Chain A
């Protein structure tokens, strides 16, 4: 018997626990029923958010299930394909199916890090320090490499000494803001993942 995600949840909510027989183990224990109960408990009462897979550009719609614990921390319980999507109809590839691990990776960078010229190690720094360094670098390099008029006398108002590249996983609105701010600085070396 094929059960859709939607029917599955419905059945779970109604208190019926899976189709007898389909999930029988050799010992006669109904695995299907056990799995249904477990799934039901894990995401019961969870908040469902709609998101989109962060990997390739098929654009598979995802449902993300979260719950808040007693001290207000949000826990991500499950990510699965959105069965309503005309793009993926609930299906996911190995990368999309493991998106939860990307979301909860133990490998995140914890704090701003700074590496002095020639240093062999990072130094952890504050956001304020890091943003000051970046702002000062932009100002100094921009002032040093800004060209207002080229050899032919054309007004060009460009900064030749700073480049910006990013980011294929930007939300579109972030990408737009990046375009706007970087051109505001006068940068012409602008790139993202489209060519590479």
Chain B
């Protein structure tokens, strides 16, 4: 989230896409209801199903899954065509006026720069025209200004085209466009709330970006009640992303180094943003080296010196994408020998669970660390598998769970909240981090005694804990914060990090969470005393826990005030310039604290980008500088915008690339669109171990539109078989009018809903069908997030 849960109550309009917060995030949803009840906010829910979120929304738009770019694109077109955008904000805080380099084109679904052999775009072709000073040329009236190119690009997204693609009737769309368009006024603000219903697509990154573009145009980024707000689905996905259990980043969103980068100069040159305006602060780009050197000093200590580039060579450099799908693809190709799964079950998660089961069977060894048995620890005896044929060696290590250890969880709103250990470990269970630390010590000992391939990083990794096999999470929190190697004192701000090897920081965005004064994530000054604990009255509660970075509660908040430093809406200030005091007041400013907006040399408002402003046009994603609608890989129709390039030309098709048989279905055999989701009473798969929750939602089912059920002779409660090209489910049908038919480009299209929670492990062992047996093994062009949310199936009465 750019903002945080409680902040949503400041919104005038709440646009919800790819999410069902009333059921999936019920307690967070109270802040959307508060916006409605306290200030009359309008709630608009675009979703294939009529859910409990829809039931309390002012408008529910039945949308075809995977078509949100068309919906947002239509809204962008509406806002641009009718000049409803927040002009002063757009000129102050976005790259609308930047001139794009000659050669930019978009034709029949293809941007310029496509390499047909490699099936990738050369993203460096999407750039700005530079002036003699080396900075981007700015001229909003130029035919190739970002604003004018955007007008042209989105002019195709007419209400009629939106209807053809999404299935939302033109009149309903226009009624919503009217509400959304009004939030371009300075005293109005809209929030966009989304979840994995946007991310789980081959166009997932662009689905979200299209919402962000709309928010920038309407002047809603950086403002209380505004922003792009992702609802994360697990307790600490946010914290574990921040700390980079992800192939492509290092802690604090530093890029993982890539082959060919020989030293830190190379690394920084290819990773950090370049300054593109004379008064762009480019804070991240400018300080990139300091954050990286401080990380290397933290990990490699005395072995990281100026002379050896602070042990830059110790960091592994991946050959190619190494994310979730790539792990199982490598196993299918028998290139992967071992897999460690800690609190994640590959089999249930999928996608294409049957193919994942094959991948697990191809491994030499699998180690599962979990509090409970999972469909991965038990995969070798999954229904239909013969254990004697599965040659994988499997370890199941009993791990503690959340209540048996301390440490912090970072919520969707970036609030890091410390939790105390409540119970001792159950039985023989051990903490995951103790298991990992102990194994590391054992492997290190083997390398000390026996040698082996490039042992230096293992031998030299700093383990500065009282017991290196049993680190305390408090010790690790201090390591993450970092310190001065000169004074030995923990740092209070990342502004003090250096690139000369005299500071450490395990994750620079968390520097300041544990200063000498103590661990700030333990703070609990909340609503017991609002007058004292919420001095601005805006709900920031700065002394409840701690949020990254710098305890800032709303990201990009410089854009909450006009160029002179006055809040766009004085009733809902983020930060404001206090001329008398000579500093910014309110939330922790996302800006130099004493930079006077009246001075011409004061930096541009978005300090983290090279441009100094928000990017309506960007070369940061691999499938286009502007979001474009492409069909899901499995779709019932050809793309009405450009049928010859129906799906994204740059999706990585794993099976095809590896020479395996194609596993995608076509609408003649699989005529119905399916999507997957959660129920309130379950969280993925772990809750199959909780009696009360299993009692509340005991059995796997699918939701079938009433009209389709009539066509197929399916009655409520009948057993049905739902099949895709990859697998099948045999479960009960819930016949419902919550899912209705859509008319897509003149064709009647049904959508089927599939809750994900069941598998062959759990209290009710009869419920063994894996929803992800149906889902396709393909992901987003940039992020490789699997397309769980839009695929084709057939359904038959059993």
Contacts and interface: CB of A to CB of B under 8 A. Distances in A.
A58 to B, nearest CB: 4
Interface string A123-139: 00001001111111111
A95 interface: yes
Nearest to B381: A120
A10 interface: no
Contacts of A159: 316
Nearest to B364: A141
B683 A131 contact: no
Interface stretch (A12-20, A23-31, A37-45, A168-176): A168-176
Nearest to B447: A139
Given A59-B409, A195-B786, 4 more contacts: A56-B24, A58-B411, A165-B327, A170-B236
Given A49-B422, A170-B236, A172-B408, A117 B392 contact: yes
A117 B391 contact: yes
A166 B244 CA distance: 11
Given A66-B423, A146-B453, A57 B233 contact: yes
Greatest chain B CB density within 10 A among A55, A87, A164 is at: A87
A114 B397 CA distance: 9
14 contacts: A55-B683, A74-B422, A84-B524, A89-B30, A102-B401, A103-B423, A105-B371, A115-B393, A131-B435, A134-B395, A181-B440, A185-B458, A189-B327, A190-B247
B367 to A, nearest CB: 5
Interface stretch (B73-81, B340-348, B698-706): B340-348
Contacts of A155: 262, 313, 317
B148 interface: no
Contacts of B473: 171, 173-174
Contacts of A93: 26-27, 680
B432 A84 contact: no
B330 A171 contact: no
The 9 A-B pairs of least Cβ separation, nearest first, read A171-B407, A59-B411, A166-B342, A167-B343, A168-B234, A172-B239, A57-B232, A135-B442, A158-B316
A149 B338 CA distance: 22
A139 B443 contact: yes
Given A85-B544, A95-B687, A192-B245, A138 B344 contact: no
Query: Which range holds the interface residue count of chain A?
Result: 35 or more
A188 B421 CA distance: 32
A184 B303 CA distance: 13
A20 to B, nearest CB: 28
A172 B426 contact: no
A84 B439 contact: no
B370 interface: yes
A196 B785 contact: yes
A84 B396 CA distance: 39
Contacts of B327: 163, 165, 189, 191
A158 B389 CA distance: 31
A92 B681 CA distance: 12
Nearest to A98: B692
A189 B322 contact: yes
Contacts of A192: 237, 240-241, 245-246, 344
Contact of A51 (B238, B388, B402, B696): B402
Nearest to A65: B422
A189 B240 contact: no
Contact of B417 (A6, A52, A169): A52
Given A56-B232, A192-B240, A150 B319 contact: yes
A64 interface: yes
Contact of B693 (A94, A103, A133): A94
Interface string B452-485: 1110011001000000000101101101100000
Contacts of A142: 443, 452-453
Contacts of A162: 336-340
A181 B326 contact: no
Contacts of A196: 324, 349-350, 785-786, 788
A191 B428 CA distance: 27
Contacts of B235: 52-57, 59, 168-169
Contacts of B418: 50
Interface residues of B, number: 165
A158 to B, nearest CB: 4
Contact of A64 (B316, B387, B422): B422
Which among A154, A173, A194 has the greatest number of chain B C-beta atoms within 10 A? A173
A56 B234 contact: yes
Contacts of A187: 316
Given A165-B339, A179-B251, A56 B683 contact: yes
Given A164-B340, A166-B344, A52 B506 contact: no
A99 B683 CA distance: 12
Contacts of B786: 195-196
Contacts of A168: 233-237, 240, 343-344
A180 B461 contact: yes
A127 B409 CA distance: 28
A109 B433 contact: no
B696 A94 contact: yes
A118 B411 CA distance: 42
A169 B538 CA distance: 30
A74 to B, nearest CB: 6
A137 B338 contact: yes
Given A59-B413, A98-B693, A143 B458 contact: no
A142 B231 CA distance: 37
A87 B380 CA distance: 42
A148 B457 contact: no
Nearest to B445: A135
B692 A101 contact: yes
Contacts of B369: 166-167
B342 A165 contact: yes
Given A57-B234, A131-B438, A110 B398 contact: yes
Q: Which of B367, B387, B396, B539 has the most CB of A within 10 A?
A: B396
B337 A141 contact: yes
Contact of B410 (A74, A102, A161, A172): A172
A91 B30 contact: yes
Listed residue (A49, A59, A96) with the most chain B CB atoms within 10 angstroms of its CB: A59
Contacts of B420: 49-51
A191 B326 CA distance: 10
Q: Give the residue among B324, B372, B447 with the most A Cβ atoms within 10 A.
A: B324
Nearest to A60: B27
A156 B259 contact: yes
Most interface-central of A110, A116, A175 (chain B CB within 10 A): A175
